[in-house]
Every structure is written in C-alpha cells, then in structure tokens.
Structure 1
Amino acid sequence: MDPSANPLAGTVTGPPEPAALPAYWHEHAGLLITKPLQLLAILLVALVLRALAHRWINRLSTATAAGRVPAILSPLTDRAGVLPFWESAGLVSERRKQRADTIASVLRSAVSLLIFITAFLLVLQVFEISLAPFVAGTSLVGVALGFGAQNIVKDFLAGMFMMLEDQYGVGDVIDVKEATGTVEAVGLRTTRLRDVEGVAWYVRNGEIIRVGNMSQQYAQVVLDVPVGIGQDVPAALAVIAEAGAELYADERWLPSLLAEPEVLGIEQLGRDQTVLRLVARVKPLEQWRVARELRARIRSKLDNAGVGHALAGPDQPE
C-alpha cells in the first residue's frame, strides 16, 4: 500500500500534553499545600501547648488546695496552718482552695493569651504580612490603654501579690487604715469588708498601703487595770492573777486560750492611780470575747477584795 494513502503512516507521536489542573497545582503548591499545612501545624502545636500548660497548672492547683504544696508554689503555704484550730474549723483548707483556684485561673488565662498571640504572629509570618504596621498600631493602642487602665493594672498586681503572700483571706478581721472589719470577699481588684456597724466597705487592692491582720496564728488580749493610790497593789496583782487562772481552768473557756493569762505587773504610775497589766494569748478572733469575760471576772474579784476603783482596757472592736 502506498504510504501516502494513509495519512497517519510515518507520523511520530510525542508525549501527551500535561493536564491543566496538575500544572495549576504545581504552580500554586505553596499557597494550596505548604501554607495550609503550616497553618494546621501552628494551630495544632498551640492547642497542644495550651492543653499541656492548663493540665500542669490544674495539677499544681489541685495539689495546693489539698495541702501538698509544690516547691514552685511554696509562697502559697498557709502561715495560719500552724494551729490545729484552723484545720479543725475548715478555714485553712477553704482559704487555701480559694487562693489556689484564683491564681490558677489567672495563670491559665495568661498562658492562653501568650500562646494564641504567638500563634497569631506566626500565622502572619506564614502569609508574609509585614508586622511593622501591626506592631506600631498595637504599641499606640497599648500606650493609650496603659494610661487609662494603670490603676486597674496596679490593683490587679497588688491583688496577685496579696494572695501569693497570704496577707489576709475571707473571714479575717483586718485593719487597712481606710476601714476595719471582717473580710467578706477577696478579689484581684477589690476587697470587701464588713465593719462592726454592718457597713460594707469596698477597698481597692492597689490603694492598700498596709494591712493589720488580727486573725493570723494567734491573738493577744491586753488588759490594763487601774487601781487607786493607797490601794494594796500586791493584793490587786494576786486578785488579777487569780481571775486569769480561774478562766484558764474553766472548761468552757479553755478551747479559746492558748496559754494561761499572765500578770506582767505595774505598767504605769500616775498621781491618782497605778495601772496593772494582764496579757493572755488566745486563738484568732477570740480576743474580744475573752477580754470581756476577763474584765467581768476581775471587776467582781476586785470589788469582793476591796481593792481597786475602776477597770479599763485598750480600745478594741467588740
């Protein structure tokens, strides 16, 4: 047959043309494959790190609330826990749990914020977005917020250190200069007190310069007993010591006392009276009740013994 009769005879067939779709994938592999994988890896790493950090913080919080304080959280140890009274009343465990939960919540929020901000910056870097305008804008916003919220930051930091150092907790009776009363609520920004007249005081943590805590470890009853000039001072001292010994021997009052009341002796000498001092170490928040009972007993014994003419004590909240 004549080859010229066959139009396909002698024609050399080359390799097939590549399809359009594979060529498109090849040209845009960075955008369609590499970058999504990078984004997925950043997201997965951020979520894993967040979960591990939260788990670690929760374990520390649980151990601290249960009384097993890790070395890293040693500032959370309760100074008030040295007295069995606190444990038996359940105050130490509740106070420890409150502080541990609060600090753990703050740590979890801070860790999550740090991880997600870092992940967001890495995502911007993957898409080759310049961070200079973003950083400049963020700096301006940060400066504006810093001036407007500096008091909030100050209160927040003061509340954090207050909890870490266990300066006071719910149920304590404290004096913060602006107000004196029982602590009803402790937050990272404010502390709420209730005074003896029932007034609720809200004190910003950043404004608390000094704190006098009347509820930690133990309290001290200090009674100054004046006797008139010409009275038998040794007899008055013996009567006061007897009143203290009887109170210490009373089973109804013994749980409130940590030691037998002690007569220190003559505290002041005046033209018309001599002041004698009695001290007693008691459990926290028991000082005012014990002081009232001691005053009543001393007054009665002094009258029966015929010595003394008045009874006084330091100004203390009733």
Structure 2
Amino acid sequence: MTVSDVLSFAAPSCVADEGWCRTIYGWTHNDWLASSAGWLIAKPITIILILIGAFLVRLVCRRLIDRLTRASGGGIPTLLRPLRERAPQALGTMLSERRAQRAQTIGSVFNSIVSFIVFGLAFVMILGELGLNLGPILASAGIVGVAIGFGAQNLVKDFLSGVFMMLEDQYGVGDVVDVGEASGAVEAVGLRITTLRDVNGTVWYVRNGEILRVGNSSQGFAVAVVDVPIGYGADVGQASEILGRVTTEATEAAPLADDVIEPPEVLGVERVTAAEGITMRLTVKVRPGRQWAVQRTLRAKVMEAFEDAGIRGPMTRGFPPSEP
C-alpha cells in the first residue's frame, strides 16, 4: 500500500473532489476543518459576494434614478418628460420647485421598488445557499404579507393614491385646490399626506386616500366672475354698458393686461332678490390663480363707475335710500 493510498483512506471523502475541502485538507490535514470547509469558507464567501453584488446593483440603480430625477438649469427632469404635466406656467419660480418635488417623490418610489426587488432576490439566494427549504418560508411570508396588508389597508390606500396622483399630476406645489374637507394653496405633496394652507393661514394635512375628488383652480385657465348688485330703480341697459366699457378699459391696461386672456363678457342680469336687488354678472378668462385678484380690481372699478353715473346699490334692510 502506497503513502497516497494511506492518505486517501484517512482523509475525508470530499478530498477526492476539487474544491475548498481538498485545499483546506492540504493546508491543515485536519478532517473536521476539511469536511466543514463548505460552511466555514465557501458559503460565507458566496453570501458576502451576493450581498456585495446586491449593494452594487442597488447603488447603480439609485444613481441612475437620481440622474433621471435631477433637473439641469431649471428644466424638466428626464423622469417627468414622458408624463403629462398640468402645471401652469404662471407659477414662475415655484414651477421648478413643483417639478423637483414631483420628480423626487416618484424617484423615491422607484428607489424603494428597486431596493425591495434587489434585496429580496439576495435574501432568497442566501437562503438557498444555506440549504433551507424556501417553500414553507415563502408561504409563511405570503400569509404575513396578507395580514399586514389587511391591517394597514388605509396606509396602502394612501400610498397608492399618492402614487397615481403624482403620475397624473392632478395638483402640485403652488396650486389652489379644493379637496372637500379643506381648500387652499398646496404647500407640500407626499405619498401619504398633502399639506394645504387656507386663506386664514391654517395648515391642513389631508390623507391622499381620503381625497375622493379634487377641484384645481390653477390648471389651464381660470374665470373671474364679478357680481355687482344694483337697486331696482337702476337702468339695466345703462349698467350693462358701463360694465362692458369699464371692464374692457381696465383689462387692456396695467396691471390686469398681463393676467387677462380674453376680453370680458357681460352676461347681464344674474338674479333678482328682495334683499340684494338686481345682480349684474360679467366674466373674464384669466391666467390660473389670478381670478381673485382680477375680481377684486374689476369690482372696485365698476362700483366707482356706478357711483359716478348715479346708479344706486340695493336698499339696505332697515335703512331707507339716501336722497339724491
């Protein structure tokens, strides 16, 4: 019997195969270390390589997503170019902030999805390297996921509503919206919460999943509606002529000229009531978000013109009209 035959008889069976067992046995001539080489060296190294690969893939994907969500020179981020944008150009400097927040929010969703997929696959591969049966584990994970999803259905609802709201650009920072329970200017938009500030300065935090309908006053164009009351004895024809003339002159001059899109339209008598008298109405198509300023300016000019023309307002209850 040769020396090699003696060694092969004394060595563990795995020495006959190429691998860590043979290498470790050649270094140490220890049966236990050689037999356990797979668990002590091979599997830890494989697991470390899997983790390193997962971190590298995640890093590359995050860098790519960050580049897609970054706007250069105040332009539109690459990630938003395929998506429809409803933001009014009148927002000016706030428009870039709106785009940046929208891109960052969508980018954070993509980053979370990438992290979940990459680390999920790495976790499954590590379990496979450890020799665990993945069937019962995946079944248990599915049951736990259903239970968590059922318990956190409101959170999931808020999250999904926020995602679709971002993709569709229903509203954004700077828009004036009415979401039912609250209305005001949008200060921040998140995947779960939308922050509004109303005209009184109150900040409202509205869950996206609870928003059933949104009225946006800052998309496309707006209409300034001006209602002016006059008394029963006033000449309606004269009042209509003054409305058209004064509003046309006002909208063609500064500062309203930049806000008005189309010439004003006098609609005439809107309603007749005992308390308010005759209400005349006119409308003007203006830039989004500027309807309230235009309304206030036109109302003041019309009331001044009516006063100069001797057209009285409705009689106040309890007070007789003043003598001419």
TM-score tier by shorter-chain length is: 0.7 to 0.9
Gapped runs of 5+ residues in structure 2? 12-24, 316-324
Contact 1:244–1:261 (CA under 8 A) maintained in structure 2:
yes
**Residues 188-207 of structure 1 aligned to structure 2 (within 5 Å):** 188-207=191-210
Question: Whole-Å Cα distance in 1 between the matches of residues 175 and 134 of structure 2?
Answer: 50
Question: Whole-Å Cα distance in 2 between the matches of residues 112 and 79 of structure 1?
Answer: 30
What is the match of residue 296 of structure 1?
A: 300
Contact 1:78–1:96 (CA under 8 A) maintained in structure 2:
no
Question: Whole-Å Cα distance in 1 between the matches of residues 146 and 270 of structure 2?
Answer: 58
Instruction: Tell me by how many angstroms 1:229 deviates.
Output: 5.0
Do residues 78 (structure 1) and 78 (structure 2) align? no
Do residues 243 (structure 1) and 251 (structure 2) align? no
Residues 162/310 of structure 1: CA separation in 2 closer, same or farther (3 Å cut): farther
- Give the TM-score, by structure 2 length: 0.79
Report Cα offsets for 1:198-247 as digits up to 9, x if no partner: 32222111000001111223221112334455643332211001111221
What is the match of residue 321 of structure 2?
A: none
Residues 62/136 of structure 1: CA separation in 2 closer, same or farther (3 Å cut): same
Question: Whole-Å Cα distance in 2 between the matches of residues 274 and 215 of structure 1?
Answer: 31
Question: Whole-Å Cα distance in 2 between the matches of residues 225 and 28 of structure 1?
Answer: 92
* Aligned residue pairs, count: 294
What is the match of residue 276 of structure 1?
A: 280
What is the match of residue 128 of structure 1?
A: 131
Do residues 104 (structure 1) and 107 (structure 2) align? yes
Residue identity in the other structure for 2:259: S
Question: Whole-Å Cα distance in 2 between the matches of residues 60 and 292 of structure 1?
Answer: 43
Gapped runs of 5+ residues in structure 1? 1-12, 312-318
SS class of match (1:80): coil
Instruction: Tell me by how many angstroms 1:27 deviates.
Output: 4.6
**Residues 34-45 of structure 1 aligned to structure 2 (within 5 Å):** 34-45=42-53
Report Cα offsets for 1:40-77 as digits up to 9, x if no partner: 442343223212211221121115995345488522x4
What is the match of residue 58 of structure 1?
A: 66
Question: Whole-Å Cα distance in 1 between the matches of residues 281 and 74 of structure 2?
Answer: 43
What is the match of residue 285 of structure 1?
A: 289
What is the match of residue 57 of structure 2?
A: 49
Contact 2:184–2:197 (CA under 8 A) maintained in structure 1:
yes
**Residues 197-236 of structure 1 aligned to structure 2 (within 5 Å):** 197-229=200-232, 231-236=234-239
Residues 184/63 of structure 1: CA separation in 2 closer, same or farther (3 Å cut): closer
Question: Whole-Å Cα distance in 2 between the matches of residues 292 and 146 of structure 1?
Answer: 50
Contact 2:76–2:99 (CA under 8 A) maintained in structure 1:
no
Contact 2:86–2:170 (CA under 8 A) maintained in structure 1:
no
Question: Whole-Å Cα distance in 2 between the matches of residues 186 and 144 of structure 1?
Answer: 29
CA RMSD of aligned residues (A): 3.0
SS class of match (1:188): coil
Question: Whole-Å Cα distance in 2 between the matches of residues 92 and 72 of structure 1?
Answer: 13
Residue identity in the other structure for 1:43: L
Contact 2:98–2:174 (CA under 8 A) maintained in structure 1:
no
**Residues 142-161 of structure 1 aligned to structure 2 (within 5 Å):** 142-161=145-164
Contact 1:236–1:308 (CA under 8 A) maintained in structure 2:
no
Contact 1:225–1:310 (CA under 8 A) maintained in structure 2:
no
Question: Whole-Å Cα distance in 1 between the matches of residues 204 and 94 of structure 2?
Answer: 22
Contact 1:64–1:70 (CA under 8 A) maintained in structure 2:
no
- Which is further off, 181-190 or 96-105? 181-190
Question: Whole-Å Cα distance in 2 between the matches of residues 240 and 112 of structure 1?
Answer: 62
SS class of match (1:79): coil
Question: Whole-Å Cα distance in 1 between the matches of residues 141 and 79 of structure 2?
Answer: 37
Question: Whole-Å Cα distance in 1 between the matches of residues 76 and 143 of structure 2?
Answer: 44
SS class of match (2:266): strand
